[in-house]
Amino acid sequence: MPERMALNRGALDLDSLNPEQRAAVTHTEGPLLVLAGAGSGKTRVITTRIAYLILHKRVPAPAVLAVTFTNKAAREMAERVAGQVKGTEGGARGGPLISTFHAFGARLLREHITLLGYRPNFVIFDAQEQFAVVKSILEDGAYDEALFSAKSAFFALQQAKGKGLTAQELRTRRGDPAELALGAILDEYEQALKRMNAVDFEDILRLSLRLCREFPAETRPFLERFRYVMVDEYQDTNRCQFDLLKALAGGRRNVCVVGDDDQSIYRWRGAEPGNILDFERVFPGCRTIRLERNYRSTDTILAAANQVIRHNAARKEKTLRGHRGPGRPLEWLLGEDEHDELTKVVAHLRRTLLQDGGHPGDAAILYRSNHQSRAIEENLREEGLPYTLVGGTRFFDRKEVRDALAYLRVIAAPSDEVSLFRILNFPRRGIGRTSQAKLSEYAARQHRPCIDVLREASRFQDFTGPVARSMETFAALIGRFRERFAHEPLPAAFRALMAELDFHRAVEKERADPKSGEKAAGLIVELERTLDYFARTRPEAGLKELLDHVALMAMPEQEEADSRPRAITLSTVHAAKGLEFPYVYLVGLADEVFPHKRSLAEGGEDEERRLFYVAVTRAQRQLVLSMARQRRRYGETLRQQPSRFLLEIEARLFEGESPQGDYVGGAPVKARRTEEAKGRFLERIKGMGEGRG
């Protein structure tokens, strides 16, 4: 908290930084590696460093580039930098570029993608669209079904692309049937995307890199604009991003990367924390600064975090040092079953907030896997406590929203045939599966885009009268709205489109349950309002920009009255990275749940441990850990053992019972009695809480 206040004063306040932080801020020339432990103020270091460059070093703000992984982080960083340079001369000249790797790449591609043989109007395919392509490849092609399900093929393909493997390499590398097939699938996949003038997320990075390498004359002016480059969450970069960073660094090598190998939790997605070690090799003479002073958590919480993470062998040795004193002990809650566990958690939470005068927004309940949120939600609803769920199905992933957006995508780029087939018969217009198959086959045979065939459908024998007419009407509609979107304001054209399609009614009719139909239609209204907001905040932007933003999830969020959440945060540990809360409840801590069984099977114990470390270090004041003695899974009842990570924490850090007891034959008698006593106590307290509302 004291850090925030210092920032808001506007002027640059180097005195309030600790020596390491200050060193990181003022080391501006040449490569710099900042190893920033959890809660060591790394965001502050980055933003202050940007401000320092602009205000003290007189670097023009647009010459500064900061790369983050999430739009949220980018937005936050931009806000904080703006606060620091606001009203100063340096801040008046246009800001630094703060962007995700992907948004940065997309920008480069928008400028120069024609150099790589794409047409200018390329579209970005997200995971769902990629999956649709893979699926259709498997359906059409003669692939051994035992080798790949659509899902596993999609997964393998993503992994391969993330590692930068080409179809060629896959086919020749090992020669085993799975890799051979995967190579062929990747080949077809890339052809399909190229044909549709589409790129996926990995392509954004790969093609950007190709542009930098193969067309230096064209890209250099843009790249050289950035004299100072910073990367946040550096441990999460994959190979391609690292290469891109090297290209960006150029000869100046004014690169500052900030990361923590202990918080690398996305290796399964292609992140290479080894890039941290490579940084010192690729940028020789680099300065390395460790930030180990933690400003977030109590010493007790930090001790627990340190004790656990110590068990990982391959890591850069770091020990978080706190300065807030021991604070409260950890607490261990043990439930008979999941419901019992959560009842105890919620009772504890209620009591704590009551005692401390805390706010529900100060607390978070964290868990390993998404499905665990359901039981928690039920419990909180029973108790009438407010909560917000982080993650889950996002707005832009909702079926109805995707359907509406698919129209926009086809209008912007009719070559996007994934979207085209998505909407061809929605709302219903009598172009069924058979007609669609005919269309796709015919277009392929003629080497013509589907939209052309649709436009002149009645000229081809393959389609019967009504179907052909329907196809032409559809093509005409797309053409008409192409015009309208070119000339009318985005929200107006969109509303006209929805009205003409009678989209609301189609969406409602699709659901059997009228309640859920109404809800679904409500999403479309929400989408309309989102477009209003987009048009208002970015008046110069057109359809293309809108779609890029949606694809990169960079949609500006709706104005929030209060940036501090008013409700208890429910989140997976992954999604909670970068967040902090006074009270953290880490639930479902049974072995094989966390660490997850499947992850263990794949040799991922260390990554699970890092995940646990991330979870523990979210807590500022109090950490409560919990588990259910038994759990129902797929109908059967399982006994559970405490997570192995809990056993790595000294018992003395806990108040009362600790997880180190004997659980094999049921709990020790003493533990059981304590639990009951505690339960009664909590019940009493709970009543008090309700009494006051």
| Closest distance to DNA from the beta carbon of 555 (Å) | 10
Q: How many residues does the chain have?
A: 693
Binding span for DNA by CB under 7 A among 302-310, 596-604, 657-665, 667-675: 596-604
Q: Which residue number, 67 or 453, has a Cβ lying nearer to DNA?
A: 67
- Give the pair of three-digit tokens for residue 431: 């172009």
Q: Which residue number, 384 or 635, has a Cβ lying nearer to DNA?
A: 635
Binding span for DNA by CB under 7 A among 68-76, 284-292, 451-459, 637-645: 68-76
Residue 523 lies near DNA (rule: CB under 7 A): no
C-beta separation of 626 from 586 below 8 A: yes
Distance CA 387, CA 376 (A): 10
Distance CA 21, CA 18 (A): 5
Which is catalytic among the residues 43, 48, 298, 622? 43
Binding span for DNA by CB under 7 A among 54-62, 267-275, 341-349, 496-504: 267-275
The footprint of DNA on residues 117-146 (CB under 7 A) is 126-127, 135
| Closest distance to DNA from the beta carbon of 364 (Å) | 14
x/- mask, DNA, residues 192-231, rule CB under 7 A, reads ---------x------------------------------
| Closest distance to DNA from the beta carbon of 476 (Å) | 19
Which is catalytic among the residues 161, 402, 577, 618? 618
Q: How many CB atoms lie within 10 A of CB 301?
A: 30
Binding span for DNA by CB under 7 A among 29-37, 305-313, 528-536, 568-576: 568-576
C-beta separation of 330 from 49 below 8 A: no
Residue 645 lies near DNA (rule: CB under 7 A): no
Give the bridge partners for 583, in sequence order: 363, 622
Residue 266 lies near DNA (rule: CB under 7 A): yes
Question: Which phi and psi (to 5°) does residue 53 adopt?
Answer: -60, -45
C-beta separation of 610 from 264 below 8 A: yes
C-beta separation of 617 from 307 below 8 A: no
Distance CA 431, CA 418 (A): 16
Which is catalytic among the residues 263, 343, 620, 640? 263
Choosing from 574, 582, 679, 685, the residue that interacts with DNA (CB under 7 A) is 574
Which is catalytic among the residues 188, 233, 299, 400? 233
Instruction: Using CB atoms within 10 Å of the CB of residue 566, give its burial: 0 to 12 exposed, 13 to 18 middle, 19+ buried.
Output: exposed
Choosing from 598, 637, 665, 669, the residue that interacts with DNA (CB under 7 A) is 598
C-beta separation of 432 from 426 below 8 A: no
Q: Which residue number, 271 or 667, has a Cβ lying nearer to DNA?
A: 271
Choosing from 70, 166, 630, 660, the residue that interacts with DNA (CB under 7 A) is 70
Distance CA 631, CA 342 (A): 12
With CA atoms as reference, report the closest residue to 186 among 208, 154, 150, 213. Answer: 154
- Give the pair of three-digit tokens for residue 623: 């950490």
The footprint of DNA on residues 291-320 (CB under 7 A) is none
Is 307 one of the catalytic residues? no
Which is catalytic among the residues 188, 202, 232, 272? 232
| Cα-trace Rg, the chain | 27
Helices (H), 538-589: 543-551, 573-576
Binding span for DNA by CB under 7 A among 15-23, 69-77, 166-174, 335-343: 69-77
Choosing from 596, 647, 679, 689, the residue that interacts with DNA (CB under 7 A) is 596
With CA atoms as reference, report the closest residue to 309 among 364, 368, 261. Answer: 261
Residue 672 lies near DNA (rule: CB under 7 A): no
User: Which 3 state secondary structure label does DSSP give 68?
Assistant: strand
Distance CA 542, CA 671 (A): 64
| Element spanning 573, H or E | helix 573-576
With CA atoms as reference, report the closest residue to 367 among 615, 647, 662, 643. Answer: 615
C-beta separation of 71 from 327 below 8 A: no
Residue carrying structure tokens 């359906």: 139
Residue 572 lies near DNA (rule: CB under 7 A): yes
| Closest distance to DNA from the beta carbon of 614 (Å) | 11
Binding-site residue total for DNA (CB under 7 A)? 49
x/- mask, DNA, residues 85-104, rule CB under 7 A, reads ---------------x-xx-
Is 684 one of the catalytic residues? no
Residue 148 lies near DNA (rule: CB under 7 A): no
Is 618 one of the catalytic residues? yes
Distance CA 498, CA 159 (A): 38
The footprint of DNA on residues 330-369 (CB under 7 A) is 368-369
- Give the pair of three-digit tokens for residue 445: 């045979």
| Closest distance to DNA from the beta carbon of 431 (Å) | 6
| Closest distance to DNA from the beta carbon of 487 (Å) | 30
Distance CA 211, CA 228 (A): 20
DSSP string, 603-615: T-HHHHHHHHHHH
Sign of CA dihedral 567, 573, 577, 582: positive
Binding span for DNA by CB under 7 A among 1-9, 268-276, 475-483, 524-532: 268-276
The footprint of DNA on residues 410-439 (CB under 7 A) is 425, 428, 430-435
The footprint of DNA on residues 484-513 (CB under 7 A) is 512
Question: Which phi and psi (to 5°) does residue 622 adopt?
Answer: -140, 135
Is 43 one of the catalytic residues? yes
Q: Which residue number, 185 or 653, has a Cβ lying nearer to DNA?
A: 185
Residue carrying structure tokens 């950490």: 623
x/- mask, DNA, residues 524-553, rule CB under 7 A, reads ----------------------------xx
Is 461 one of the catalytic residues? no
C-beta separation of 298 from 328 below 8 A: yes
Choosing from 63, 82, 541, 575, the residue that interacts with DNA (CB under 7 A) is 575
Q: Which residue number, 362 or 608, has a Cβ lying nearer to DNA?
A: 608
End-to-end CA distance of the chain: 29
- Please give the residue ranges that form the binding site for DNA (CB under 7 A): 69-72, 100, 102-103, 126-127, 135, 149-151, 201, 233, 236, 266, 268-269, 271, 368-371, 391, 394, 425, 428, 430-435, 512, 552-554, 572, 574-575, 596, 598-599, 602, 604, 632, 634-635
Catalytic (active-site) positions: 42-43, 232-233, 263, 618
